[in-house]
Amino acid sequence: MQTYAFLLGTHPTLSLAELMSFLINQKITHNDPVLFDSIVVIEIKKTPEEVAQLQSELGGIIKTFSIIKQFSGKIFEVEKILTPEILLKQFFAQKNQKINFGISVYSDPDPTYAELNWLTNFAHNIKRRLKDEYSIRYVEDRGWHLSSVQVERNRLIDTGAEIALIRNGHDFYLGKTLTVQDYKSYSERDWDKPSPDAKSGMLPPKLAQMMINLTRDKRTKTIYDPFCGSGIVLQEAMMLGLKVYGSDISPEAVKNTISNLEWLAKLKKIAAGKIGLRVKVADATQNDWKTLDSPDTVIVAEPYLGPALRMAPFAPQAQTILNELTKLYLGFFRNLNQHFPHIKRVGVVFPVIRSRDGLKYLNILDEVASLGYTRKLILPAEIIKKDAGVSPRGGFLYSRPDQLVLREIFVFEKQ
């Protein structure tokens, strides 16, 4: 086992759930995670090269670190460990050309001004001690840590190192960054596709990827999205090497999905076959698709979340919208139960309306359970309970602070 740390995304509990589901579902041996701030430290039975490969499959992970040393005490101990010899041998990726390095601190509690000052001086000292023999540059930032963009633009990973100093109370983990999230590729998938659908709202690709990882397991071969919209879930499933099927009540949406998937297959050179045969017009409350009714298929979907709202509605108005949506959601689950009884997992977004009297939820969990779909608990209750990113009933919340319709994410298992 080797120790790794992961920097979690903007919705840390959801990102942690994605990571743990991924490790469990892919049967990767690991120990219990230690979680603090936005960092999770975990031992995994994989080499750093293998762990680096996982980054592109995890929408909720911003950076992956390999931990080289652990110690307890004060930040100043770093000086004894990071000698020029150790840096050259264990941290810097190469020393024949210019070495670029930076230091990022992830700390709970926050570092003091004196600690940060000391660390900056320490980094300048490293440079001073090595500069006669090596061409070396220290990439400095005014904050405590470098962004993924800074790491990438300064080529820290392949020309030197982003040294990561991670503190949890008195425990320190000293390591280096293995990978940062490929923000350019997500943005390309989000913004460059030929047929976007701003009207129905676009699911962020990272969230689509997280939902797929929360829902799939090792035997999953196919993702089916019966509310495919412009095809974002299916795009991300295709990127993960899964077979994709979609349907939507709107012919326009089906056209958009096909054009977006064909574009992505071409761009990423994915052998996707005849996409047009796997995306069709269908009502998710009535459709039947025999070939998809298998335990190898999982459903991942963001159904219609209701009308776009300009102002927070009063509670009765919010309830009227939710009553309408209840018909669609229950119709979808009833149809699943009737026509897709062998599909065992369903990852789905529920709408939550920010009314003037607080958040209003879609109250269908009991009916969904009576159809045999029970909620899969992904993280231990102690983690879930104290997190603001989780709804009172345990769904993962995903939203921006100003959003009037929030997303609540559940994974259901068919008993």
Ligand X SMILES: C[S@@+](CC[C@H](N)C(=O)[O-])C[C@H]1O[C@@H](n2cnc3c(N)ncnc32)[C@H](O)[C@@H]1O
Q: Applying CB under 6 A, which of residues 20, 136, 253, 275 lies at the interface with ligand X?
A: 253
Q: Which is nearer to ligand X, 116 or 305 (CB)?
A: 305
> CA 217, 376, 212, 39: dihedral to nearest 10 degrees?
-100
Q: Which is nearer to ligand X, 127 or 334 (CB)?
A: 334
> Both tokens of residue 349?
């977004």
Residue partners of 299: CB distance under 8 A and separation at least 6: 215, 223, 224, 225, 226, 336, 340, 343, 345, 346, 347, 348
Q: Applying CB under 6 A, which of residues 65, 245, 304, 396 lies at the interface with ligand X?
A: 304
Q: How far apart are the first and last CA of the chain?
A: 35
State yes or no: residue 246 binds ligand X (CB under 6 A). no
Q: What does 118-173 look like in DSSP terms, one character per residue?
A: HHHHHHHHHHHHHTTTS-EEE---SSSS--HHHHHHTTHHHHSEEEEEEEETTEEE
Applying CB under 6 A, the span of 18-26, 141-149, 172-180, 243-251 interacting with ligand X comes to: 243-251
Applying CB under 6 A, the span of 48-56, 237-245, 300-308, 339-347 interacting with ligand X comes to: 300-308
In the bound complex, what is the minimum distance in angstroms from residue 237's beta carbon to ligand X? 12
- What gap in Å lies between CA 24 and CA 27, rounded to an integer? 5
In the bound complex, what is the minimum distance in angstroms from residue 339's beta carbon to ligand X? 13
- Look at residue 223 and give its three-state secondary structure: strand
- What gap in Å lies between CA 408 and CA 360, rounded to an integer? 11
Q: Applying CB under 6 A, which of residues 17, 19, 180, 232 lies at the interface with ligand X?
A: 232
Residue partners of 139: CB distance under 8 A and separation at least 6: 100, 101, 102, 146, 150, 154, 156
Q: Applying CB under 6 A, which of residues 100, 177, 200, 213 lies at the interface with ligand X?
A: 200
State yes or no: residue 209 binds ligand X (CB under 6 A). no
Helix H or strand E segment including 409: strand 405-414
State yes or no: residue 340 binds ligand X (CB under 6 A). no
Residue 265: alpha-carbon gap to chain centroid? 22
State yes or no: residue 229 binds ligand X (CB under 6 A). yes
State yes or no: residue 372 binds ligand X (CB under 6 A). no
Applying CB under 6 A, the span of 110-118, 119-127, 301-309, 386-394 interacting with ligand X comes to: 301-309
In the bound complex, what is the minimum distance in angstroms from residue 258's beta carbon to ligand X? 13
State yes or no: residue 409 binds ligand X (CB under 6 A). no
- What gap in Å lies between CA 34 and CA 173, rounded to an integer? 12
Q: Which is nearer to ligand X, 44 or 264 (CB)?
A: 264
State yes or no: residue 395 binds ligand X (CB under 6 A). no
In the bound complex, what is the minimum distance in angstroms from residue 298's beta carbon to ligand X? 15
Q: Which residues of 259-278 are buried (b: 16+ CB within 10 A; e: fewer)?
A: bbbbbbbeeeeeebeebeeb
315 phi/psi in degrees, rounded to 5:
-55, -45
- What gap in Å lies between CA 214 and CA 22, rounded to an integer? 7
State yes or no: residue 322 binds ligand X (CB under 6 A). no
Q: For ligand X, what does the binding mask look like between residues 145 and 184, x meaning CB under 6 A?
A: ----------------------------------------
Fill in the DSSP letter of residue 55.
G
Q: Applying CB under 6 A, which of residues 91, 173, 227, 412 lies at the interface with ligand X?
A: 227
State yes or no: residue 250 binds ligand X (CB under 6 A). yes
State yes or no: residue 264 binds ligand X (CB under 6 A). no
What is the identity of the amino acid at 87? Answer: L
The residue number whose beta carbon is nearest to ligand X equals: 229
> Both tokens of residue 412?
């259901």
State yes or no: residue 230 binds ligand X (CB under 6 A). yes
Helix H or strand E segment including 176: strand 171-180
Q: Which is nearer to ligand X, 60 or 246 (CB)?
A: 246
State yes or no: residue 245 binds ligand X (CB under 6 A). no
State yes or no: residue 190 binds ligand X (CB under 6 A). no
In the bound complex, what is the minimum distance in angstroms from residue 302's beta carbon to ligand X? 4
Q: Applying CB under 6 A, which of residues 284, 346, 362, 379 lies at the interface with ligand X?
A: 284
In the bound complex, what is the minimum distance in angstroms from residue 39's beta carbon to ligand X? 30
Residues that bind ligand X (CB under 6 A): 197, 200-203, 226-227, 229-233, 248-250, 253, 283-285, 302-305, 328
